Structure 1
Amino acid sequence: MDGSFENAAGQARARVALRWRRIGFSALVLGSCAALLGLMAATLFVEAPDPVGIAMLLLFALTLPWTTIGFWNAVIGFSLMTFCRDPAGLVAPHLRSIGGTEKIASSTALLICIRNEDTGRLQRNLGWMLEGLVASGESRWFHLYMLSDSNQAPIIEDEQRVAAELSARFGSALSITYRRREESSGFKAGNIRDFCERWGSLHQFAIVLDADSVMTPAAMLRLVRIMQVQPHIGILQTLVTGLPSASPFARIFQFGMRLGMRSYTLGAASWQGDCGPYWGHNAILRIAPFTEHCHLPVLPGKPPLGGHVLSHDQLEAVLMRRAGYEVRVLPEENGSWEENPPSLPEFIRRDLRWCQGNMQYFHFLSLPRLLPVSRCQLGLAIAMYLGAPAWLGLMTLGLLRQMPIRADLGALLFILTMVMSFAPKFATLADVLARSPLRQAYGGTARILVSAFLEMLFSMLIAPISAVAVTLFMLGLPFGREMGWSTQQRDAEGIPFALAARRLWLQTVLGFVFAVCFWRVVPGAVWLWAPFVLGLAGAIPLAMASADPRVGRALAAVGLCRIPEEARLPAEPEYATLFAPCAPLSPTGATE
């Protein structure tokens, strides 16, 4: 009785502490937004306010939520990394609720959702994961379900062959079921819903994987052990990092992601708490409440804003939380990977699909009984894509507005905005440089600094390219433009000029138009607008160079944009299959 009382009292104190952290975080974000808006108003309105200036101020306000939230997440995350002995355990106590040797006593389904994917890659990744589970001695508690929505006959035959070969390889050590839906309604969420209705009652948990997902057996077993001892958790999400790639785009992108994610996720976990994120893969679900409470409705109207929900993950997270179950994240980089898009056009295509799905969240903002944090998360998911057209509109109106401004305050505002935008990367970069093992894993101080500069420059160049694509796509949404759910290109093969020109000609034209306009209106501020213009005007050659595997191999050869997995190859050869793109080059160019 005393133990139960102390436990309840401890949980009550934790809830109060979380509430105050949320209040404090909200005050920091709102105060920062107010200060930046005040600085923007002082920059614009040297004289009386004018309609164009007011419109610019409103557009600037739309860009602020993600900037300020990211900044304060980074500040909190950096503080935790610097001053706390166990930062992940502090913000995610469930992470330390197990010792790692607890008996596995729950049946877990492994759900791999596929649609017209490369079956060679699929067989490689699944074989690697299943072999590790069998070696762990716990494979009898797992059952792999290959859930196919493929509609191309040759690929369907290959999928069936892969399933048969995996079944023959692992025999009775681990069960494998292949299922293909004739009618693939509801996208990925519909695919998983079909599993829940057919086989969900046979298992307690489900680990959701995408076709490009890889998890170590230790990471999967850790998820199961935590779920066993934490019955109040409904979804447990791992921190997903990028697999090595021969594509320079993916290599640079995932280096930046590694710099930003740790500080950002630690900071976010400190105030999100039990309302954590769900990214739709590399996570474990408690099947019974997921089946009961996370059934997504078919939205009224036709696609793109009606019909089946495209971005299911965050919505399923808030529904699980509404049902009384926690949604938690493991803010550690430990054995959970995905493949990033190998080229700029593929990155944009994925981004537009997410944009369409997030815009559907407007239907759910008024959903009854959602927690305030959950409702805020849906709003922020929408705001993430409103920022792109807001920035473009802000810059366009700035060129058209014929009113004096405070150039000194404008320069200060630009610097503050840039620092806040890159704060998550700066925070983790500082932490990496301060720790000798991390410095070595990332290639040493000089390579880290050069790589960070390269990545941040690359980010500034591709940001306007993506912003133009998102803006045009959003303008087309009311008229029926949609992305749908198509197969992703995952191989680093380069892209020809014709394809790059067809996809990015408009960005190129706009780049030259903006260059002429900026030069005429603000020729003295070249340092401010040059990255924006150069990114747009150079979109085609930038896309081609960043997709060329030869450039990626050259970066790997000199150790630029190196990620810690590359340091594991010599000492842990079992990772060679997954991390082969990062293997050192021989004089002839072949990987050794």
Structure 2
Amino acid sequence: MRDAAKLNPSQLNSFQMTVRRVLFWTLVAVSFLGLAVLMGATLAPGEFGALKSIMFVCFLVTLPWTIIGFWNAVIGLVVMRFSQDPVAKVCPIDKGDASIGLTSKTAILPCVRDEDTRALERKLSSMLEGLARSGEASAFSLFVLSDTSNAEIAAKEKTMAARLAARWGGQIPVTYRRRSSNDGFKAGNIQAFCDHWGSQYDFALVLDADSYMSMDAILDLVRRMEANPQVGILQSLVVGLPAHSAFARIFQFGMRLGMRSYTIGSAWWQGDCGPYWGHNALLRLEPFMAHCRLPELPGKGPLGGSILSHDQVEAVLMRRAGYEVRVLPQEGGSYEENPPHLLEFIRRDLRWCQGNLQYLKLLTMKGIRPVSRMQLVLAILMFLGSPAWIGFMVSAALAGLAQGGTPLFHADTGYALFIIIMVMVFAPKLATMLDVLIRKNLRSAFGGPLRVLASTLVEIVYSAMLAPVMAVAHSLFIGGLLFGKTIGWGAQGRDVEKLPLLLTASKLWPQTAFGLFATAWIASQPLSMVWPVIPIAIGPLLSIPFAVMTSSPALGLGLVRSTLWRIPEESIPPSELRPLYLPALRRRRLLSGLNKPVGEMPLPAQTAPVRVKA
């Protein structure tokens, strides 16, 4: 019989994880059934014809994400409030020994495509400086993996890599590799690295161009991976960098509130079948290379060929190979940038939409775990929920017109259903807000109780207006996929600049049209029956001025000065953010003497050649 002390955490806790998963899915199933019955009762007045049947089916399609988010939030809040160490509770892996030097080799892999090299250099140089200062520099190498299509930007990337090599190459080798084509998108870029250099390294730290991680966060991931050979992917909890875009500032506050309770709750039942978000995560290269090479999907068109949303598929394949996929749900040291305006936010979401719908061709994959298969299903439903929601609203409007004076809903059950759904939708944010208000240190970090409450209230209204705008965008895009429309993999816009009115109108006129029709329908109905759905009309109706206004740099900096939607990194800026010269911090004068552009930063006398691969 094997010594129990030598068993890995997944073997020791397999019964416990089974109990957790059975309990979680029982809660989800009971909630689903209860809400379905309540909707059936709400639609009872009059004949239950074709339109009401469509409404009922569309409602059921929208439920899984709502219910799962609610129970993740409830479980996350319970763990945060009653567990002495919430992170260890849901991610029970060995932390490793910080007093012992690293024995592994880690490749740092920033994947870039037509990016601003100045911003990228700031981030990479700061990360390399931290690793050099830690005394563990010999355990790391940097590979700048470029899929850039613009020759001018590629030349700047090569020069940037040379500067990084001149400054840090004596301690951390720097290699620049540019592919001639974007085959396989980001996953293909990483796979090309694995084919050329993967066998020389134990781990790979995957980064996006907007990723940034502190020295402590990187070393923590590596030590945990060294101490837990059963872990194949270790995903850090990624939070937004302090933003000076009005759009991103309010959005990232809501994400910050919702993400902690949601991630802790989901990690509680997902356990060793956790998520991989494609960046700010550590991969164990040997099993990754052996088991996680992505297949080419059969067929032509937007759902065939190379997989856009590679990350969750790689997590599924890693788990099928017997290795754990874990998320470490602790805030601090792992960052990303959020889209600076609504148009870029929509474009990013549509790329995810196309990639997630490709999972339809992977649902019958053999040998994958039940939780992994369910994660693929949920990733698909995340976007299919949008046309289902639009279908529900349109069918409700048509049914209301068809029934004339006959009530479409039972008012009492309808209001109850509306309140329940709204509580469920916003539960992750409300759960974390409650935890923040209870904890004195968090209250202070987020700006105090009044700022937290005011910021949360406005963010909820903001989210309620944004949701139908995104639903229209998803629905039109999914419809376009049926006719071969695709979005591909292009450079992301990261600059904070005011959107041109005509450009914005050309992109958002469908949302405006939807808002006009919704407003006209609401105006024709008794206010007592339709007041809950007024934001559904206002959001799309005002989408064009909303997008232009929230893209304004002046408004963004004004919101920074207001101190609303503050995140902890603004209250007490971590030292690792100093080299980034973030306007959101500099404008508030929380930092000083940080106005030199990166090109003026002094370089050390030592130099080292940069390795360049075509």
TM-score w.r.t. structure 1 length? 0.96
Percent pairwise identity:
51
Matches for 1:46-65 after TM superposition, within 5 Å = 46-65=45-64
Output the amino acid matched with 1:265: T
Corresponding residue of 2:86:
87
Matches for 1:174-573 after TM superposition, within 5 Å = 174-401=172-399, 402=403, 404=407, 405-569=409-573, 572=575
Is the 8 Å Cα contact of residues 585 and 591 (structure 1) preserved in structure 2? no
Corresponding residue of 1:18:
17
Output the amino acid matched with 1:73: N
1:521: how far off?
3.3
Q: Write the distance in 2 (CA, Å) between the matches of 1:573 and 1:119.
A: 19
1:49/1:102 Cα in 2 relative to 1: closer, same or farther (>3 Å)? farther
Q: Write the distance in 2 (CA, Å) between the matches of 1:205 and 1:8.
A: 23
Q: Write the distance in 2 (CA, Å) between the matches of 1:212 and 1:352.
A: 19
Is the 8 Å Cα contact of residues 245 and 581 (structure 1) preserved in structure 2? yes
Further displaced range: 446-455 or 22-31: 446-455
Further displaced range: 495-504 or 72-81: 495-504
Is the 8 Å Cα contact of residues 215 and 336 (structure 1) preserved in structure 2? yes
1:47: how far off?
4.4
Q: Deviations over 1:445-469 (max 9, x none)?
A: 1111111111111101111111000
1:545: how far off?
1.2
Q: Deviations over 1:180-231 (max 9, x none)?
A: 0112200000000000000000000000000000000111111111111100
Output the amino acid matched with 1:15: S
Q: Write the distance in 1 (CA, Å) between the matches of 2:105 and 2:6.
A: 28
1:51: how far off?
2.1
Q: Which is bigger in relative contact order (C-alpha 8 A, separation at least 6)?
A: 2
Q: Write the distance in 1 (CA, Å) between the matches of 2:259 and 2:10.
A: 28
Q: State the SS of the aligned residue for 2:38.
A: helix
Further displaced range: 383-392 or 492-501: 492-501
1:134: how far off?
0.5
Output the amino acid matched with 1:223: L
1:51/1:126 Cα in 2 relative to 1: closer, same or farther (>3 Å)? same
Q: State the SS of the aligned residue for 1:307.
A: coil
Q: State the SS of the aligned residue for 1:93.
A: coil
TM-score w.r.t. structure 2 length? 0.93
Q: Write the distance in 1 (CA, Å) between the matches of 2:543 and 2:190.
A: 38
Q: Deviations over 1:522-558 (max 9, x none)?
A: 4333421211111011001110111111111111112
Q: Write the distance in 2 (CA, Å) between the matches of 1:558 and 1:10.
A: 47
1:127/1:573 Cα in 2 relative to 1: closer, same or farther (>3 Å)? closer
Corresponding residue of 2:43:
44
What RMSD over aligned residues (CA atoms) do the two structures have, in Å?
1.7
1:276: how far off?
0.2
Output the amino acid matched with 2:474: V
Q: Write the distance in 2 (CA, Å) between the matches of 1:552 and 1:26.
A: 42
Q: Write the distance in 2 (CA, Å) between the matches of 1:324 and 1:192.
A: 22
Output the amino acid matched with 1:143: S
Output the amino acid matched with 2:30: G
Is the 8 Å Cα contact of residues 8 and 230 (structure 2) preserved in structure 1? no
Q: Write the distance in 2 (CA, Å) between the matches of 1:483 and 1:10.
A: 41
Alignment partner of 1:67 is 2:66: yes
- Structure 1 unmatched runs, 5+: none
Q: Write the distance in 2 (CA, Å) between the matches of 1:517 and 1:79.
A: 42
Q: Deviations over 1:312-343 (max 9, x none)?
A: 00000000000100000001012000000000
Output the amino acid matched with 2:379: A
Q: Write the distance in 1 (CA, Å) between the matches of 2:344 and 2:586.
A: 25
1:13: how far off?
4.5
Output the amino acid matched with 1:568: I
Task: Name the structure with the higher helix share.
Answer: 1
Q: Write the distance in 2 (CA, Å) between the matches of 1:51 and 1:151.
A: 51
Matches for 1:95-114 after TM superposition, within 5 Å = 96-114=94-112
1:99: how far off?
4.0
Q: Write the distance in 1 (CA, Å) between the matches of 2:151 and 2:117.
A: 13
Q: Deviations over 1:289-331 (max 9, x none)?
A: 1011111111112231111101000000000000100000001
Is the 8 Å Cα contact of residues 581 and 594 (structure 2) preserved in structure 1? no
Is the 8 Å Cα contact of residues 243 and 578 (structure 1) preserved in structure 2? no
1:136/1:580 Cα in 2 relative to 1: closer, same or farther (>3 Å)? farther
Q: State the SS of the aligned residue for 2:433.
A: helix
Runs of 4+ in structure 1 over 6 Å off: none
1:382/1:49 Cα in 2 relative to 1: closer, same or farther (>3 Å)? same
1:583/1:447 Cα in 2 relative to 1: closer, same or farther (>3 Å)? farther
Is the 8 Å Cα contact of residues 253 and 567 (structure 2) preserved in structure 1? yes
Corresponding residue of 2:76:
77
Is the 8 Å Cα contact of residues 211 and 336 (structure 2) preserved in structure 1? yes
1:371/1:466 Cα in 2 relative to 1: closer, same or farther (>3 Å)? same
Q: Write the distance in 2 (CA, Å) between the matches of 1:451 and 1:341.
A: 20
Q: Deviations over 1:17-61 (max 9, x none)?
A: 000100000000010011011100000013453222121111000
Corresponding residue of 2:612:
none
Is the 8 Å Cα contact of residues 204 and 288 (structure 1) preserved in structure 2? yes
1:417/1:379 Cα in 2 relative to 1: closer, same or farther (>3 Å)? same
Q: Write the distance in 1 (CA, Å) between the matches of 2:62 and 2:99.
A: 47
Q: State the SS of the aligned residue for 2:177.
A: strand
Q: State the SS of the aligned residue for 1:97.
A: coil
Aligned residue pair count? 586
Q: Write the distance in 1 (CA, Å) between the matches of 2:8 and 2:25.
A: 26
Corresponding residue of 1:131:
129
Output the amino acid matched with 2:86: P
Corresponding residue of 1:165:
163
